[in-house]
Amino acid sequence: MSKRRIFILLAAAAVLAGLAAWLLLLAEYKLSGLALGGLGEAFSTKIYSAPFEVGKGSFAAPASLLRRLGRLGYRAVEKPSAPGEYVWLEPALEVYLRGFRTPSARQEPLKAELEYGAAGWEINTASGAAAVLLEPELVMELSGPDKVRREPVEARDIPEKLRSAVIAAEDKRFLNHHGVDLKAVAGALWRDLTRRGVWGGSTITQQLAKNLFLTPRRTLRRKLSEAFLAFYLELRYSKPEIMALYLNHIYLGQDGPVSVAGIRSAAKFYFGKEPAGLSLAECALLAGMIRSPYLYNPRSDPGRSMARRNNVLSRMLENGLIDREERAAAVTEPLSLAEIPARPGKDDNAYFTAEVVRLLLKTRDEDELFRFGLSVHTTLDTELQSAAARAVRQARYEAALVVLDPANGSVPALAGGKDYYVSQFNRATQAMRQPGSAFKPFVYGAALEAGFTPATLLDDAKKSYPNPGGKVWEPRNYGGVYYGTSTLRLALARSLNSATLDLASRLGPPAITDFARRLGVKSPLENSLAVALGASEVNLLELTAAYAPFANGGFRVEPVLITAVEDARGGLLEYGAGGRTPVIKPALAYLATSLLESAVSEGTASGLGGVYGWDRPAAGKTGTTTGGRDAWFIGYTPGLLAGVWAGDDSNRAVGVVGAGDALPLWAEFMKAALEGRPAEKFAPPAEGLVSVKIDPVSGLLAVAGCPERRPELFLAGTEPAGKCPLHPRGLKGWFKRLFGIK
């Protein structure tokens, strides 16, 4: 062997020895004060709201602005002299802003004088800025030392069936290896190499070493360090002690804002028991959750959790840890969860932050998310979120409400149910339900695009349609009322099923589904006339976002909840900028909005003004499914779009209706959201529309003899050319009208 090669080998050995010495010192330092229930470093992931802008002419209500300052910890003083202080002497606010930086916004610390008047806020700063920003609010901490429930358990108090379940689920050769399972490593390496290098095959001891000492970064260096530290832990501790350390450290879900860490806390939270009192089935369920506490959470997805439990029981049988009789009894044991204790107050942000976590877990593993100090920036507006949560809590049954900025798709509020602590199921994003008539705007939008007009006459008579298998489909108008003939505008405003099906049969289902797809509906759609009456299941967020092109001049937007993710050092990991895609012409978007305004002013949603005190322009559509299983209202004003669903989780026919159960929740939210703002009208595009007076009975140009002449909008080139023949002018026409002669 050459001298050069000997030197290289000695240098490599020295580097490895140095690494080993460093790892040993690190381990000794970390373990020197580590009780059996202790933990290594864990940094909480923080979820933040969006910054809040107060600009010249904005109309944020002063009370709302003061609430924001209070949540941010600003102090009321006589004269602000340091960042974080303010004084409110109506109508003037003097505030010393703290300043902040996020990947998408920045505010330097400065003094600002704001005054609220009829024209909104006036801003005065030394820099001459026309707007100032309040820093994002911290709305949730995941794991970390501040919000973790952890109760250590001694090795002697861990039941054998729990140890066996964890071994079967996580490391079947735990009792036989010395920290690293070479057979598992070889298999995992092969799988990982064929899947572009995702590491796997860690033993329980390696997982413990990673959790105590290392970062989650999947690198060869980290993997080698993990293996060495696992070997060291095996030398220092017995297998029962390693198992206890591991079970005391693992993350096992969320109790609202509090992380449930360790097997003892989890046993109490999910089953109301000490570990020693757990049944075999409960041990298997908790062991199965270790891989993914979010995915296999029995409170949010009991079906998937039970399937995972039964898989662990099967592994225990295969490894000889239980017998067939024990497995047979355990797989038939029903899930019986402990009740969650009542808490004072409500966490209005819980459904929103839970959805943020669900989205993050599509691209990040749970270890990274819950232990390594990410900063997650969102679109959340805490005032709008509180208003949404208050509105939903008033529902007779369950309900959900989502809010979008139609201009860019940002979601400032999302309430997925009445009480997150009672049910973590998010009805805004996870529930798939039939939208009923709330789907009809896509039928009518497709019709406008195909050359139909608001004055097109539709046949609104009772009909039957053949179904496969010889059955007959007989859809009916709500209340059994038929108009015989109806204009397209009236048919949508009054949600006439028969007229809508007449229109849909002329268009054909493909034109309707294509239009809905372009606007943002992604769920599978019926390829039959039933699609026109909302027979295909969608979720609330999806449906609400698909209305955005009507509200924003023709652009499809993707709903955005996460704007950026940073690591613990401030490095940018993810930037969630929303996009806009033109899908319909501005004139068509405005005309569709005009039709939906009629639904509010004279149609199924007319109770908005007549019953619920609404007094500003709005457009929207109600929806009610058969038997009152689902109630919907999707509606918008210039600049704000919101959708509401109400019903029963079991999909029972409970008699809810869009106008009586969804509409009032929308009104309650929107009145709070727009408090203090002047009413705005929808602005028409500069070109592409024509307004003429028509006779609403014939749908043609009105003449002097028509008893009613109504202005109507048309896409340029589609306005009627013929004159109304039903009401002739002159003496002859007068005579016919006088004596009722046709």
**pLDDT tens column, 420-465:** 988 999 999 999 999 999 999 999 999 999 999 999 999 999 999 8
β-bridge partners, 261: 150, 251
- Catalytic residue from among 85, 137, 141, 170: 170
Residues 123 and 162 in one domain: no
Does residue 362 belong to any structural domain of this protein? Answer: no
Q: Fill in the amino acid letter for 486.
A: S
Residue 359 sits at the vertex; the CA angle it makes with 356 and 362, to the nearest 5 degrees, is 150
Residues 87 and 160 in one domain: no
DSSP state of 588: H
Question: Average per-residue pLDDT in the chain?
Answer: 88
Does residue 603 belong to any structural domain of this protein? Answer: no
CATH number, domain of 87, equals: 3.30.2060.10
Percent of the chain past pLDDT 70, that is, above it, reads 87
Q: Is the peptide bond prior to 91 cis by the omega test (within 30 degrees of 0)?
A: yes
Average pLDDT over residues 45-68: 94
- The Cα 616–Cα 678 span in angstroms is 9
Residues 301 and 193 in one domain: yes
DSSP string computed for 93-146: EEEEE--EEETTEEE--EEEEEEEETTEEEEEETT--SEEEEPPPEEEEESTTT
Place of tokens 């929308």: 666
- Catalytic residue from among 49, 202, 437, 698: 437
| pLDDT(728) > 50 | yes
CATH number, domain of 511, equals: 3.40.710.10
Residues 78 and 222 in one domain: no
β-bridge partners, 113: 94, 124
Phi first, then psi: what are they for 735, rounded to 5°? -65, -45
- Identify which of 618, 442, 574 has the alpha carbon closest to the alpha carbon of residue 518: 442
Q: At what angle do helices 440-449 and 509-519 cross, to 10 degrees?
A: 100
Residues 273 and 159 in one domain: yes
Residues 180 and 306 in one domain: yes
Which of 77-91, 130-144, 640-654 bottoms out in mean pLDDT, i.e. has the lowest?
A: 130-144
Strands 92-97 and 85-89: antiparallel
Residues 75 and 170 in one domain: no
Residues 211 and 288 in one domain: yes
Residues 122 and 159 in one domain: no
Which of 164-178, 400-414, 463-477 bottoms out in mean pLDDT, i.e. has the lowest?
A: 463-477
End-to-end CA distance of the chain: 116
Q: pLDDT tens for residues 646-655?
A: 999 999 999 9
CATH number, domain of 173, equals: 1.10.3810.10
Residues 164 and 196 in one domain: yes
Q: Report the SS3 class of residue 719.
A: coil
β-bridge partners, 134: 52
Does residue 722 belong to any structural domain of this protein? Answer: yes
| pLDDT(194) > 80 | no
| pLDDT(323) > 90 | yes
Give 503 or 156, the one with higher predicted confidence: 503
- Verify whether residue 202 is a known catalytic residue: no
| H helical segments located in 393-496 | 440-449, 488-493
Residues 126 and 158 in one domain: no
Single residue among 135, 162, 191 that ends a domain in this structure: 135
Place of tokens 């303010």: 86
Q: Fill in the amino acid letter for 118.
A: A
> What pLDDT, on a 0 to 100 scale, did the predictor assign at position 36?
39
- Per-residue confidence at 229, pLDDT binned at 50, 70, 90? confident
- Identify which of 23, 612, 349 has the alpha carbon closest to the alpha carbon of residue 620: 612
DSSP string computed for 633-645: EEEEETTEEEEEE
> What pLDDT, on a 0 to 100 scale, did the predictor assign at position 731?
46
- The Cα 637–Cα 642 span in angstroms is 9
- Structural domain of 705: 689-739
E strand or H helix at 182, and its extent? helix 182-194
β-bridge partners, 466: 472
Does residue 455 belong to any structural domain of this protein? Answer: yes
- Verify whether residue 339 is a known catalytic residue: no
Average pLDDT over residues 536-554: 98
Which of 217-221, 258-262, 539-543, 728-732 bottoms out in mean pLDDT, i.e. has the lowest?
A: 728-732
Residues 135/163, Cβ–Cβ less than 8 Å: no
Q: Report the SS3 class of residue 281.
A: helix
Q: What is the gyration radius of the CA atoms in the chain, in angstroms?
A: 32
Does residue 414 belong to any structural domain of this protein? Answer: no
- Per-residue confidence at 212, pLDDT binned at 50, 70, 90? confident
Domain count, the chain: 4
Does residue 616 belong to any structural domain of this protein? Answer: no
Residues 181 and 246 in one domain: yes
Does residue 583 belong to any structural domain of this protein? Answer: no
Single residue among 526, 543, 569 that ends a domain in this structure: 526
- Identify which of 91, 88, 37 has the alpha carbon closest to the alpha carbon of residue 67: 88
Count of other CB atoms within 10 angstroms of residue 201: 20
Q: pLDDT tens for residues 464-475?
A: 988 777 788 999
| pLDDT(290) > 80 | yes
Single residue among 526, 547, 573 that ends a domain in this structure: 526
Average pLDDT over residues 565-588: 90
Does residue 363 belong to any structural domain of this protein? Answer: no
